[in-house]
A and B are shown apart, each in its own frame.
Chain A
Amino acid sequence: MTTTTLRAAADVRTGSGGGPAVRAVRRKRVLHWIAMHSLAVAAALFFVLPFVFVFLTSVMSDGQAMSGELWPRAWHWENYAQVFRTPGFLDWWRNSLTYAVLGTVLTVCSSVPVAYALAKFRFRGRRTAMLLVISTMMLPPQVVVVPMYLVWAQQFQLSGSLWPLIIPMAFGDAYSIFLLRQFLLTIPKEYLESARVDGCGELRTLLRIVVPMAKPGIAAVALFQFFYCWNDYFGPQIYAAQNPGAWTLSYGLETFKSAHMVDWNLTMAATLLVMAPVIVVFLFAQKAFVEGVTLTGVKG
């Protein structure tokens, strides 16, 4: 954007045609290009090199992983197979997937109608309701964790499982409601009115008109929720810690490292295996994701 502006401004000032002034501007532009791109490459190294070192270490032998050498002497791909053979590792995958998939479906189903009402219905207390949603977003989970734990563990006997984390998602999630509402605000009233004129009830309007139009917003919320569940450590630590059968990948990984104190190679292979699904999902759904991030920040 700015480069084109610069070019336009330079052309205006110098007129067309070559002269020393034009050459000076052109040289300045080239230097600017070089400076910006060297900066970008330097920054990219900071972001990419950790992945590179983690990967290189993941295919080293046990001994070499501790030696501080950076390039593998031989490529031990079997490290990955060994990680999968670790007792529990496959269970952790299953638990992470269950938590993430169920959590995502429930969150979307429960948050869409709430966000729709907050975005499109006129009612008293609308502003207050929105403020309460935002304040729930602001509340650190640690503030309410003790009494919540006691309810799940003592009244429902559900500690040692992921259900105390999954069930609440059937009752809306503040962050998803907020994001979806921002998205639904952008749908013009006329669509909804014409649906109503045609005799659609609110529920039909929501399902037939709003949901199809809000697909990008819903996709973004679904992705965020999936990643949230996949990445969650605090939740599983509170509710699943006592029962290794209920651990998730995020929780299990740290324990994996503790158990393999010296095996940095296996730990790095496991680390990449925990990162892989989110990165693969992201590469497939980049657009929805970036749109969602932008929406929370900018359209806010």
Chain B
Amino acid sequence: MALSHAPALRRKHRRARLRTLGFLSPWLVGFSVFFAYPLIATGYFSFMHYNQIKEPTFVGLRNWTYVLTQMPLFGPALWNTLWLVVVMVALRVVFGLGIGLLVTKVKTGAGLFRTAFYVPYLAPPVAATVAFVFLLSPGSGPVNEILSAVGIDSPPTWFNDPAWAKPSLVMLSLWGIGDLMVIFMAALLDVPKEQYEAAELDGAGAWARFRYVTWPSITPIVMFAVVTGVVQTMQYYTQALVAGKLASGVSVGPGTVIQPGYPDHSTLTVPQLVYSLGFQNFNTGAACVLSLVLFAIAMAVTTLLMRKRTGLLSAED
């Protein structure tokens, strides 16, 4: 205790603090300017009427009551986002795990299979979406051509049918499962082999081996996949927007205002609504309210999921 008061040591401590600050400075600036400031500003604008031309004026809770109780598109957007969060994340995890299991079992041509499963993940989202709108186009798309060739008379119209638009987006997202496959594959290869051998000798079948050996050992990675999946899906934007626009068939130039979420708002997500309010209708206050709602849901969901042991939390040594 007394030692730490020695001037030499104190100087050393101060130098260490300055050094730490120096190394952290890019992020400290970035965090304050690009995270803390805009978050506070979003809160501020949520109480303002502001059309980005005239000075903002204070309107109290009016934006909040408008968005939460009166805005017709809020309900559908929230519903679609939550639908996608639940269905897309669940199917991605199940499918990713299945493909991960498959590639650990396949020996002949393993490298080729892995590459084939992985590469679609790299396709830029816009390009992948354009490709899927073509593949699934109702009139002459290859998928429906094949479906009618095998005798399915009235195949779905996919992105043009409100009931099929979201499932089509899910299919597109399953196509890009490569990242999850790699993560699950690595986790599966990490399961101690002796445990499988022991289970085998105890007469455990394939399902029992999965349930009592594989599953407990990969749960943290599954949780990691669920948390990051939920976060990503809360931000789901590009694919829904591009698919809706292209499938609707309207010709869009710069500045054209289109009603997002074609068909029948079935692909309208909360982030799209933020964009449309803030950058097409110039209703800054309402856009900021919706941003904060999105933030609140994202935080609630992640804290809830992070309570359990996850890959992210265990990073906190």
User: Which A residues form the contact surface with B (CB < 8 A)?
Assistant: 1-3, 5-6, 8-9, 33, 36-37, 39-40, 43-44, 46-48, 50-51, 53-54, 57, 66-68, 70, 110-111, 113-114, 116-118, 121, 123, 127, 129-134, 136-151, 168, 170-172, 177-178, 182, 185, 202, 227, 230-231, 233-234, 237-238, 241-242, 244, 249-251, 253-255, 257-259, 261, 264, 267-268, 271-272, 274-275, 278-279, 282, 286, 290, 293-294, 296-298, 300
New A-B contacts (11) at CB < 8 Å, excluding given A110-B27, A202-B19: A36-B102, A53-B134, A66-B139, A70-B145, A114-B26, A117-B23, A138-B298, A234-B238, A255-B254, A267-B130, A274-B126
A63 to chain B, nearest CB (A): 11
Q: Which residues of the other chain, B, contact A141 by a CB distance below 8 angstroms?
A: 235
Q: Which residues of the other chain, B, contact A230 by a CB distance below 8 angstroms?
A: 124
Are B182 and A290 in touch, CB under 8 angstroms? yes
B50 to chain A, nearest CB (A): 9
Most buried by A among B34, B251, B255: B34
B63-106 Cβ-contact flags toward A at 8 Å (1 or 0): 00000000000000000000000000000000000010011111
Are B294 and A143 in touch, CB under 8 angstroms? yes
B307 within 8 A of A: no
Q: Which residues of the other chain, A, contact B34 by a CB distance below 8 angstroms?
A: 144, 148, 168, 171
Q: In whole angstroms, what is the CA distance A170 to B26 when docked?
A: 7
Q: In whole angstroms, what is the CA distance A129 to B20 when docked?
A: 12
User: Which B residues form the contact surface with A (CB < 8 A)?
Assistant: 16-17, 19-20, 23-24, 26-27, 29-31, 33-35, 37-39, 41-42, 45, 52, 99, 102-109, 113, 115-120, 122-128, 130-132, 134-135, 137, 139-142, 144-146, 175, 179, 182-183, 186-187, 189-190, 193, 196-197, 200-201, 221, 224-225, 231, 234-235, 237-238, 242, 245-246, 249-255, 270-271, 274-275, 278-279, 284, 287-288, 291-292, 294-295, 298-299, 302, 311-312, 314-317
Closest to A276 in B: B127
Residue of A116, A130, A242, A294 touching B23 (CB-CB under 8 A) = A116
Are A134 and B23 in touch, CB under 8 angstroms? no
The answer to whether residues A298 and B221 also contact, given A54-B131, A117-B23, A250-B127 and a CB cut-off of 8 A, is yes
Are A294 and B125 in touch, CB under 8 angstroms? no
Q: In whole angstroms, what is the CA distance A46 to B171 when docked?
A: 10
